[in-house]
Amino acid sequence: MHLKVGTRSSKLALAQTEIVISRLTAMGISAEKVMITTQGDATTGVPLHEIGGQGVFVRALDDAILSGEIDCAVHSMKDIPAYRPSGLFTAAVLKRDPPTDYLACTKDLDDVEIIGTSSTRRRAQLLRHDPDLAIRDLRGNVDTRIRKLNAGEYDAIVLAEAGLIRLSIDIPGERLPADKFVPSPNQGTIAIVSRADPSLMEIFSALDDPATRTDVAAERVVMEQLGGGCFTPLGIYCRSGHLIAEVLSIDGSRTQRIEVDVPSIESAREQGRILRNRADDLIAEAYAALKVRT
């Protein structure tokens, strides 16, 4: 069997796709990359929440799978929306790389004042840590963000550590601890999406890591309960059944948080409901702030 594997054209997306293709090749499966431009790649001048959220990196690839143009697509799993088109299946979840954020900087950490990120979660968590920080919007691929850092537009920028590892980028800075800077749900995880075709599902099952799948599934059901979209500052992280989830105010001054062991997906879902009830005012504030901005 020869597979057409869809991917975005960014260096990180291509690196992730090469990881998948190399594993397929080791299994004796022939595969080729098919690059597809998504709205998220084409529109880089505005924050994600203004162009439809993380799903803008996925829709074109979904359509290509459903039309038969490609057999599957490789994604950063955090980009995959909670609600999926009929006929698609998350065929494999690879073993998770570090889920943490990384603060890359060009000066001593004590001298950092201006930090670049367009993530409402990262912005709120950074301001909670230090309300005096200046947080400025930053979009673009990893190379673009690092170039802007090196050009002096920012003292530091926040990147996903897993992306730096996959691109073999070594840059000064420090890991932000996951218990204090709770990552986005599913951060650090590569997923393969395909049609719900038994032959494809059998192939990709060999690449699946059950422990990672269980943890990220717990994160996703909490995310589904919280709703809020990418404009609500929220972090959700589960490791070996230990769940940390939080919702923050836009300015990071207030937080609702849970930290608990979840023995099942239903238990995680219930914890999501509990947090949603506690954080309903923060989520409503985020929606109101979005309406003002747009």
Q: Are 79 and 160 in contact (CB under 8 A)?
A: no
- Amino acid (one-letter) located at 225: Q
| Residues assigned a catalytic role | 78-79, 121-122, 139, 145, 230
* Residue 139: both structure tokens together: 């979009």
What DSSP string runs through 203-258?
HHHTT--HHHHHHHHHHHHHHHHH---TTS-EEEEEETTEEEEEEE-TTSS-EEEE
Q: Which regions of the chain does DSSP assign to beta strands (E)?
A: 2-7, 30-35, 72-76, 88-93, 101-105, 114-116, 134-136, 156-160, 173-176, 190-195, 234-239, 242-248, 255-261
